[in-house]
Chain A
């Protein structure tokens, strides 16, 4: 990594200069450095509202950067080893969408694992591309989807030589990495672009002994959430371009959907966090690893919990594992992950990232400085086992349900539809999304056939208390299906 100038933070510096100059605001935002909204100023703090400002000469313009934003993007690109880096202010969702829309057009094929984030399939709804799903390998023991096996990617490319892109999760929410270097090699041989959802992999660019990052694997583009493990404000992300991307076109695509009033709170948070990680990332993530490893070891001593890690590595569908992720299987406890997640919050005042049918994920990050809260988590898990452990009979284990894609997501989403009770939808074509949030991986996506397994799974997840989203019916009783069948 080129550390030259990484101690600089041009957007932050420009905002400090703006404050010092005491420029008189006759532009938006109308709260004018907080003066027009006392309650908000008291709540968020004057320092915060003073820099909630709009584009101007001193501060550059996110849609067409020529000044400090351009400099900041160059510094970020250098820190991540990318050809170009874009500051994104509408979440990693917008980065994923821009990445896909810049490579795919209507009818184009994209090879991807089914356990993608909803933003990926949303992008397919927008552009009309057709998914070619690779069924991810599944761990029966854990009930989670793993990575893509290289031979599956190879076969998919053989069968679909006209595919325009391959999408890789690096890593999955649980921390599983595919063999991204090999996938890049296979794809590039056929002129297929490799797009990487690195929402949970910011630290791969900075820590020691981390899985390979998208840029160093030679991928064409990567979307990642600086706000997840990197410490910037919620909704701020990066889109990185590798050698194979066309950054000027990517900028045009970004500007199709991005706000023209990019928040300087978000932009400066990206700038400052990039600086922090470039300068201190190694130490920060070695501490994160130390805390996660300690927690894993202690949790595995409690009994009935399985905090899994690099022992899953099998050279293929689990090519590598992100050991900063504290993923814990709760199956032997007789409790669904979501139940443990709820008990931790309601009874112990501990909020973790998510719970699914059989697992929970506690996010350990740049914000964890010592063992105090880790001890609380371990202590609470010990208590939950003592007080809530149940017989595991009747627990649903299988999480991954093989989808049958009958229509492209776009065709299905925009088709004429009708609403039926979930229980009566078996055999029909779904025209909307169903997912638990988090993790936000669709159980059903538009264009897929609804099977009895899927309906059973949705009803089970609902009964266990999963937060189901995506359906037009907020009560999660009815589902939209293709009118007239298929």
Chain B
């Protein structure tokens, strides 16, 4: 029977599998004292958790470390959640932690949950209870510690966004056992002595113990009882406290609370600019419309003025003259045409023309035309007019059959 020899890696993989398939080791809470706490520049945390009898190395990756609300240091009693696994290169087992909280915090979480459920059942979180606060506050009450960084954050935001406001700080401690009654008193004083439009209750980030005053039932009830709307900004984005649920609005941070309750100076200036532009525009329009009206009237004035009447009359006279001239011309032409026709007619009737064709005109001594045989008395003298001259003749007698050439 030959012995089976494993490589180190093979053995380590074998051991590692034992850890990874063990459900207890994959999901475990352990408690101990922190030592060798190292925050690497990569963002990972390395520390050792120990008690009197044993120690275990722990690592918390950056992604998990960034989410923690506690800031453990050596000597702290910590409760850490994660899985235990093998780090093959060193042949060591260690805890891969995803959650760390101070010892006893577990109890606090349970308390928190109990109170939350209780107040929620009472209807203190109801959305109908939430009050509106004015978009533009004149006076702002602040409940926090005068020395807190959170207060400076609030002032900085207000100076930048809305320096027209008046801030009234109602100072209080914000952590420790005396904090809850102080916070309540600070809130009551603002309600009693001032006419602030809105109150912001703020505190910077910290551990669950640090923020605990804001999970106090008395404080929560005081916030609910405030006549003035309350906006809370306690801790960091991820922190939720009981007062956040009771207040009229929760802001993720103190600065955010200050932003939430104020308009932005830049927006106000922009609005002012727009309103002023409207003022200019409307006035310009008012003047322009009047100018247009005026010009219209001036146009009309020119139209109805005597000058214009004269001009129009003059034109009319010119028109008449032209027409008259035209008519006269037509008249002359007409007359000329008529005259020509008459002349032509006359021409046609001219006896000379007849004479020209070979006829002769006979007249008696009195000058009367002799146009019939009856007028041609025998023995009378007549004149015979030819086209080129006149002769005198004597009527010899009637046609007696002489072989005379026929005159006509």
- Co-complex (A, B): no
A interface residues with partner B (beta carbon < 8 Å) = none
B interface residues with partner A (beta carbon < 8 Å) = none
